[in-house]
Chain A
Amino acid sequence: DAAVTQKPRYLIKMKGQEAEMKCIPEKGHTAVFWYQQKQSKELKFLIYFQNQQPLDQIDMVKERFSAVCPSSSLCSLGIRTCEAEDSALYLCSSSGQGGGAETLYFGSGTRLTVL
């Protein structure tokens, strides 16, 4: 069972609109990761939070996304201006102290479609 909750499950936006998706990490987990998956292919790392602070992110996120973890129980990933290439499944994952991959759990994702 997914201990990481993501909402909404589906999101449809027009090109140019703003999008926001939320993630509730597993209770007690201090590390949160966001990944992007297109067409059921490889997962692409986007950003990593440790104790609500962003520690690592790719350039695309810096330029076009907004990601925050205002509390240990809620994180959000936003896209300021959606483009067609942003259509993907966005997966949030969390892990225990230290961000260890051994305790990494994924949510079911938010599927974003940009028209």
Chain B
Amino acid sequence: QQQVRQSPQSLTVWEGETAILNCSYENSAFDYFPWYQQFPGEGPALLIAIRSVSDKKEDGGFTIFFNKREKNLSLHIKDSQPGDSATYFCAASAYTNTGKLTFGDGTVLTVKP
């Protein structure tokens, strides 16, 4: 059973729109949730992260909304640009002191000009 699920698998938005990527998890022990951005041929890069004590985290045009009761979170990418086209991974860790992460399958985002 997959512990971290992402939806949709792929998403296409127009330049300037807000892209919304969803993530849900099973393990109540997860308390740290980073989002990674990966371009073809590269390793994932940390985009933004949230701890379970918070319900919202903003950084530039990226916002995470977190619902601990429902065990889900979402990444909002405001004013999407073609350069934001990439695969986005939601991940979760049971302890904030470890880099052992459980990843979702990713959402492929395409931003059309």
Where the two chains meet, the residues of A that have a C-beta atom closer than 8 Å to any C-beta of B are: 2, 4, 31, 33, 35, 40-45, 48, 56, 91, 93, 95, 98-102, 104-109
Contact = CB atoms under 8 A, between A and B. Distances in A.
Nearest to A109: B43
B43 A91 contact: yes
24 contacts: A40-B38, A41-B106, A42-B4, A42-B106, A43-B101, A43-B103, A44-B103, A45-B100, A91-B43, A95-B99, A99-B98, A100-B96, A101-B96, A101-B98, A101-B99, A101-B101, A102-B34, A104-B34, A106-B36, A106-B45, A107-B43, A108-B41, A109-B42, A109-B43
Contacts of B96: 100-102
Contacts of B105: 41-42
A100 B106 contact: no
A58 to B, nearest CB: 10
Interface residues of B, number: 29
B81 to A, nearest CB: 21
B42 A108 contact: yes
A45 B45 contact: no
Contacts, number: 76
Contacts of B99: 31, 33, 48, 93, 95, 99-101, 104
B18 to A, nearest CB: 24
Contacts of A40: 38, 40, 87, 106
A56 B99 CA distance: 11
Contacts of A107: 43
B103 A42 contact: yes
A108 B104 CA distance: 19
Contacts of B45: 106
List of 3 A-B pairs having minimum Cβ-Cβ separation, nearest first: A106-B43, A104-B99, A42-B103
